């Protein structure tokens, strides 16, 4: 894949999303090797085309992965990548609308050791964090975690000039709710559901993994 960055397009099947996914998959994997349990259940939110879940799964053969997305259009892509890779520890994708708790998995059926979501908040409202926290409060195991990857502001400021430039580019599209979100706003959104920020991991390209746990 070319290193040239395509125009920003948040559609899960776009060239931009594929480019970004290939660019960040190895640093995320390195962190997940430290975070994920040896065995158990992991739920990916906003799985998109299925690049990440299918890339990660072979490294965790005793971990069962559940991909999900709001857009059922991407399900065929997730399944095709699963078949091409021969991944046997990835379930069929399920639809989850993070603004609609009626679409959340049933906690009586299964609880998860890990919930992860990659690169959505620059093109999603902070309110989505409420949905993620509500979901986590329901289906996370007591010692489970939520890992949110992406670029963020901290305490109202940018951590690097490149993130400021990236945010300026996103905001120039003038799409409501687009733009880098502040870590503190995600914390505030999660708090009412008993979900707290445990730590922030620095990753390459000025991105973070925000690790949330039950309070």
pLDDT in tens, 6-58: 566 666 665 656 556 677 899 999 999 999 999 999 999 999 999 999 999 99
Measured in degrees and rounded to the nearest 5, phi and psi for residue 176 equal -55, 135
Cα gap 49→163, rounded to integer Å? 25
Which CATH architecture best describes the domain 15-214?
3-Layer(aba) Sandwich (3.40)
Cα separation of 90 and 102, whole Å?
Answer: 23
What residue spans define the domains of the chain?
Answer: 15-214
Output the CA angle 35-197-199, nearest 5 degrees: 50
How far apart CA 77 and CA 83 sit, in angstroms, is 10
Pairwise CA distance, residues 135 & 172, whole Å:
32
The secondary structure of residue 171, as a DSSP letter, is H
Model pLDDT for residues 88-101, shown as the tens digit of each residue: 999 999 999 999 99
Q: Inform me whether the pLDDT recorded for 3 exceeds 90.
A: no
Confidence at residue 183, expressed as pLDDT on a 0 to 100 scale: 94
As a whole number of angstroms, the distance between CA 197 and CA 174 comes to 30
What are the tens digits of pLDDT across the range 117-141? 999 988 888 889 999 999 999 999 9
């Amino acid at each position: 894949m070319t290193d040239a960055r395509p125009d920003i397009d948040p559609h899960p099947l776009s060239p931009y999303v594929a480019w970004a996914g290939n660019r960040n998959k190895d640093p995320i994997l390195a962190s997940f090797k430290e975070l994920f349990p040896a065995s158990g259940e992991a739920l990916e939110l906003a799985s998109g085309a299925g690049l990440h879940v299918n890339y990660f799964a072979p490294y965790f053969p005793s971990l069962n992965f559940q991909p999900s997305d709001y857009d059922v259009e991407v399900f065929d892509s997730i399944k095709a990548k699963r078949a091409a890779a021969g991944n046997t520890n990835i379930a069929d994708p399920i639809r989850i609308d993070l603004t609609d708790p009626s679409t959340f998995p049933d906690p009586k059926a299964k609880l998860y050791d890990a919930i992860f979501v990659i690169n959505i908040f620059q093109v999603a409202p902070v309110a989505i964090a409420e949905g993620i926290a509500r979901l986590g409060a329901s289906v996370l195991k007591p010692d489970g975690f939520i890992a949110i990857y992406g670029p963020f502001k901290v305490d109202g400021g940018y951590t690097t000039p490149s993130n400021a430039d990236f945010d300026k580019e996103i905001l120039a599209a003038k799409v409501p709710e687009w733009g880098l979100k502040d870590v503190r706003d995600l914390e505030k959104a999660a708090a009412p559901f008993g979900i707290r920020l445990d730590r922030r991991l620095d990753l390459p390209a000025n991105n973070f993994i925000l690790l949330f746990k039950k309070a």
